[in-house]
Structure 1
């Protein structure tokens, strides 16, 4: 990594606010800001909004955009169409403006999506307009202090290697940010048409059915998806929608939640309370850029949010049951649960396992019908959006709910039906957060050198994904075993790609055909908790 002289960076910073911020830092603080660059990693950039080369700021975005544009030119796409959209986070407006203006000055035909835009609509616009690339300025469900820069390429899928490494190398050779040319660009009619075309596509793909009536409780978690989600649901004839008013309007400070991620404890308390109060049929929670969707329902009499794996199996089963595709493909990742694979097998469909991330999931095979990851990401209409789409997933979940209500049933019963047919599947997780990344390296090395042979009394064997020679080669270790009654156990350990954590993904599965779903689920949850407690951590 080239060494950047802070004096040169400050002189080249086009933003007076971040120039002043850096100039006021102590020598030690300044050294920390320049210790390394913000890496162009999974899909692009993500980090804290602050001055210097290892934060999200106008200078960093300007140089990254110059590199992206140069990469497109180098690959024969000079003058091509590029889409730019943004969420409502701190800095997003300025970052999107810089992105659009740098690309315009490089000669690209830039479509700037007006106002704030859910990330799935950026991916949709990339594919729908035939753009060669798109940039979504967003940090998705990260803490309020963060922002990011997500890159799509031709076809609206996230970038994959070697493109990311090539762009990062170009960033390292980029000129000073204040010398990069910029050309003003404004939203045009294509921006206005994008939302309408996206909403029209949802109706075209999933239809409109007016009865029976379904009551929906919805929260946008202070993000940018609320208004469009309500519009999408109403177009699909869902008009009994109750929203969490205090979380509906975009607010970059996310004042009512400790962490703006529907998976986090407490984040969905308000929408679950609303669902209980209005006697809803389904609760829906979007993350701040609306690319993820969490679903809540009454399960055995108690309102709770479903896991990403539960939702993935439900949506996958519904889409498989209603598709007209021949030999459809559904996909999930190595750390997702295995229930979707069982559902696909019974439906005569092909299931593909990929590495984590939608950049791999949407490239699983054709004709792709559905893909999901356990972190509440769902790609429900790959022909239109080649990424996770929380709004589209909300529409499909509402459609499934309507189908169950018409049967005088509900989502909880749908889960029970899958459990009886394919076995009760319980997934759980455990994360080991560290302050020193070497601890993760040591933990993974220990799992490879001396993996556990028993977990909670279950004998297990180890498989190292780093030794594979196929497309699933990665830094992960899998532990598998079986109980005497046929219950199977699987644990996958891998470093987080976005946080300083070692993550364990646990799944326990009972054999199919057992009608006592609630009792079996309770037993498997106890086993999963015991396994989680037995897994190695840094104290051992």
Structure 2
């Protein structure tokens, strides 16, 4: 599942179209799974499903086919799916298979000389508060230990940025965090990081996936829970991460302002409070109902700050508390949402691009050097490039998915470019040089500083955005998703490339750009509007992105709808 797009249940559970399994074979596979399944609750639900399938119940057979016709594939951020039985769901057998594949890949890296001392350096492991996260994390350690690979397990519940940050500090060969990030409550996931603290990239994800495919999930050796290769870490790495947070502040002389905050039932609250204190800010004003970790997400059906309604309680808290800004982490705290007050007393949720513009303006205004580099993704706003140009610094666009931003930051460092900021429109921001992944905690601290600077200067955050619009033009962005079978999405993109439309919504198409590595096509319309199309790599849908300058949002949305209608 791509961490750069809103998730849906079973986001990585894409059935293999070449797998055609008979009902009897499905039942046979399910029974074999039952014999290996270690958890009673999963055994009970699968037993019920098998019993129904044996009566030729069509729904039960369809459910079995959905679970057993293939296996979860590594998306741009590892594995994600609903917690349930079968190779197309998240469960302990699938996690053990994934851990074994990762371990085998690490051993191969050591054997070929591509990575020194991989087994001894080991893997850092952490988890969030979702269903079975703790046992998934421990099973990962036990599988690695059985392969002779050291593991280091973070205590309790750990934000993803803390896990990623600790990888380089521990000089580990890799990192794993058990989390489904902002997916619906029924899901869990498995995210893998490289030794750099960045997420896995192609072709490494393909190599690991091949290793996983060679492992029988029903027969994965396990070491004992107290094996000497399993090291239990203490809280010192969380404390070290927090101690480094003040480095992101660029105006430490400016006093803080009231900040409303929600952890969205995730694991960010404790670390955020520590981070704010270390940075010299008062604790944020919490949404009490969402402050403690709770994997059932009782107050929000879709714990993603991008989703309509997800930040409603936060906006109520912000309005009643006199906050200057409202901030939201997603459940594993690697994303940041924000809302700002308006002149009429209402609150407006910012788009991911608007947050990115505020960060870019603040960072580039308060740093120096023509070696600076800012990075965004192809589907994010092009305004970042305009801001960078005005400051005389380097800017780059890369593929969708934050792993590509981390990769580009490393590559450009080799030619003397200094990464200072990266973002993607799906609320992912990197405002520090470590970890090389999106970090909603350090981003929250710097956004609190941006709000404080605006207050000290006697302007509003809306005023900051209006000033950027006055300087560069009023940039408008929009998105649209069209649900179609995965194979049809790629076909549609190829058809647009081969025979692009002459016009969209009455506006002439004046240029076409293809990005085959991202499976994306960009149409340039008369007047500067750009429309982009790409199929989701993990969901049965195509995503369309629009950007224009000086256009009414409704008009841009209608252009996307017109493009969608050409399919």
Shared fold per TM-score greater than 0.5 = yes
What is the match of residue 429 of structure 2? 378
Kept in 1: contact 2:96–2:217 (CA 8 A):
no
2:531 aligned with 1:491: yes
What is the match of residue 382 of structure 2? 338
Kept in 1: contact 2:476–2:553 (CA 8 A):
yes
Count residues in correspondence: 516
* CA RMSD between the two structures: 2.3
What is the match of residue 419 of structure 1? 469
2:30 aligned with 1:30: no
What is the match of residue 536 of structure 1? 564
Q: Which has the higher contact order (CA 8 A, sep 6+)?
A: 2
Q: Aligned to 1:413, what secondary structure does the other structure show?
A: helix
Write the distance in 2 (CA, Å) between the matches of 1:506 and 1:156.
32
Write the distance in 2 (CA, Å) between the matches of 1:182 and 1:108.
11
Gaps of 5+ in 1: 511-522
Structure 1 residues 426 and 70, CA gap change in structure 2 (3 angstroms) = same
Write the distance in 2 (CA, Å) between the matches of 1:232 and 1:185.
33
What is the match of residue 352 of structure 2? 308
- Following superposition, the deviation at residue 205 of structure 1 comes to 3.6
Structure 1 residues 175 and 450, CA gap change in structure 2 (3 angstroms) = closer
What is the match of residue 42 of structure 2? 18
Which of the numbers 158, 161, 176 marks the counterpart of 2:202? 161
What is the match of residue 358 of structure 1? 402
What is the match of residue 82 of structure 1? 123
- Following superposition, the deviation at residue 442 of structure 1 comes to 4.6
Which of the numbers 262, 279, 283 marks the counterpart of 2:322? 279
Q: Aligned to 2:134, what secondary structure does the other structure show?
A: helix
What is the match of residue 6 of structure 2? none
What is the match of residue 7 of structure 2? none
Kept in 1: contact 2:370–2:394 (CA 8 A):
no
Q: Deviations over 1:388-447 (max 9, x none)?
A: 00111101101111111110112111111111111111111111123x334424533443
2:450 aligned with 1:400: yes
Write the distance in 1 (CA, Å) between the matches of 2:369 and 2:343.
34
What is the match of residue 516 of structure 1? none
Q: Aligned to 2:234, what secondary structure does the other structure show?
A: helix
Which of the numbers 275, 278, 281 marks the counterpart of 1:232? 275
Kept in 2: contact 1:111–1:191 (CA 8 A):
no
Residues 430-469 of structure 1 aligned to structure 2 (within 5 Å): 430-434=480-484, 436-466=485-515
Write the distance in 1 (CA, Å) between the matches of 2:539 and 2:332.
19
What is the match of residue 60 of structure 1? 94
Structure 1 residues 324 and 66, CA gap change in structure 2 (3 angstroms) = same
Kept in 1: contact 2:248–2:431 (CA 8 A):
no
Q: Aligned to 2:293, what secondary structure does the other structure show?
A: coil
Gaps of 5+ in 2: 1-15, 55-60, 111-117
After alignment, is 160-169 or 317-326 more displaced? Answer: 317-326
Q: Aligned to 1:53, what secondary structure does the other structure show?
A: coil
Kept in 2: contact 1:144–1:253 (CA 8 A):
yes
Write the distance in 2 (CA, Å) between the matches of 1:230 and 1:277.
20
Write the distance in 2 (CA, Å) between the matches of 1:253 and 1:478.
39
Q: Aligned to 1:257, what secondary structure does the other structure show?
A: coil
Write the distance in 2 (CA, Å) between the matches of 1:283 and 1:20.
43
What is the match of residue 164 of structure 2? 123
What is the match of residue 197 of structure 1? 240
- Following superposition, the deviation at residue 38 of structure 1 comes to 0.8
After alignment, is 1-10 or 327-336 more displaced? Answer: 1-10
- Following superposition, the deviation at residue 474 of structure 1 comes to 2.6
Q: What TM-score do the two structures reach when normalised by structure 1?
A: 0.90
Write the distance in 2 (CA, Å) between the matches of 1:446 and 1:338.
25
